[in-house]
Amino acid sequence: MKTRVLRYSILTVILGLTIYQALGYGKRSFEAFCPFGGMESLWGLFREGQYSCATGPLNMSMLIAVIVLALIAKKAFCGWACPIGFLSELIGRLGMKILPWNSSVNPKLNSRLKLIRYVGLVLALYFTYQTGELILRGYDPFYIIFSGFGHGTLGLVSVIVLVIIIIGSFLIPMFFCRYFCPLGATIDPFSRLGLVKIVSDEDLCTECGECYTSCPHDIAPNEMIYIRHRDCTNCLECIDSCPEKDCLTLKVKL
Ligand code: SF4
Ligand code: SF4
């Protein structure tokens, strides 16, 4: 719980800063801080030596920073810095409190559904590179929310997308992050290599399952010694929930 208070405090500050930028008080647009903008600008930079549409050097710096962070601490960006991840987690927690059933997804189905995010990544990049426009804007909850359905959103389509994401997040924790986030798909291979990870001690584990229940990504830390799972955000919820002292720890491991 202590870690969650710290994590939520950091996320609240970042969410507040994003809203501040979105309201036009900052020097830059909130979009300039989106790491996925770096991916969207790659082709334009390669072909014409210039950034596509509204993207710029800050987007590229953010992308590089997120990738370096993933190589160090897996998807820590998603668990400790992303405003959409934060809002998804809050909605998911509300769902877990209200819904009378267990919200974990069958592991096989969960893995298959996660493939959608790679399809989304390829389609988003293909159409962005083809048109030179940020075509994801109308489907991206980050842009839809913080632009207030601004330029580039798709009216009713964007409303439907947002409603589906909100309802989905209520029913399945981290619904958008698990199945649709193209930035998550981009950093998956780097996250697998992340040095700082959860380590479990088989001798101390009583198989109570608390760590699995507390994990917003349905990862079961008790079933592996080193948590190399690409979706682990190092949120530390599993460590906090484990009743056995030092059974789960955060370590630097290759
Ligand atoms: S395995 Fe632990 S640290 Fe990783 S996402 Fe799940 S709860 Fe968070
Ligand atoms: S919460 Fe701790 S003791 Fe319980 S299953 Fe997970 S690692 Fe084992």
Ligand 1: residue of 104, 205, 233 to mutate (most ligand atoms within 8 A of CB) is 233
Same domain, residue pair 117 and 203: no
Same domain, residue pair 118 and 224: no
What is the structure's pLDDT at 190? Answer: 97
Q: Which atom of ligand 1 is nearest to the CA of 241?
A: 7
Residue 48 phi/psi, 5-degree rounding, is -115, 0
CATH number at residue 213: 3.30.70.20
Q: Output the residue whose Cα is nearest ligand 2's atom 2.
A: 242
* Cα–chain center distance at 80: 9
Residue 230 phi/psi, 5-degree rounding, is -60, -25
What is the structure's pLDDT at 141? Answer: 95
Q: Which atom of ligand 1 is nearest to the CA of 221?
A: 1
* Cα–chain center distance at 84: 7
Position 45 pLDDT exceeds 90: no
CA of 149 to the centre of ligand 1 (A): 33
Q: How far is the C-alpha of 107 from the C-alpha of 152, rounded, in Å?
A: 36
Q: How far is the C-alpha of 194 from the C-alpha of 101, rounded, in Å?
A: 34
Same domain, residue pair 177 and 63: yes
Tell me the pLDDT band of 236, cut-offs 50, 70 and 90.
Answer: very high
Same domain, residue pair 239 and 218: yes
Q: How far is the C-alpha of 125 from the C-alpha of 186, rounded, in Å?
A: 11
Structure confidence by residue, pLDDT tens digits, 184-228: 999 999 999 999 999 999 999 999 999 999 999 999 999 999 999
What is the structure's pLDDT at 28? Answer: 86
Position 55 pLDDT exceeds 90: no
Same domain, residue pair 164 and 203: no
Q: Output the residue whose Cα is nearest ligand 1's atom 7.
A: 215
86: domain range?
A: 2-190
Same domain, residue pair 176 and 206: no
Question: Which of the listed residues 190, 214, 235 is the one where a domain comes to its end?
Answer: 190
CA of 201 to the centre of ligand 1 (A): 15
Flag the least confident range among 24-28, 118-122, 182-186, 191-195. 24-28
Ordered DSSP codes for the chain: -HHHHHHHHHHHHHHHHHHHHHTT-SSS-GGGG-THHHHHHHHHHHHHSS--TT--HHHHHHHHHHHHHHHHHTTHHHHHT-HHHHHHHHHHHHHHHH-SS--PPPHHHHHHHHTHHHHHHHHHHHHHHHHSS-GGGGG-HHHHHHHTS-TT--THHHHHHHHHHHHHHHHSTTHHHHHT-HHHHHHHHHHHT-SEEEEE-TTT-----HHHHH-TT---GGG-SB---TT-----HHHHH-SSTTSEEEEE--
Averaged pLDDT for residues 108-116: 95
Flag the least confident range among 63-72, 130-139, 145-154, 214-223. 130-139
CA of 227 to the centre of ligand 2 (A): 13
Same domain, residue pair 206 and 148: no
| Percent above pLDDT 70 for the chain | 100
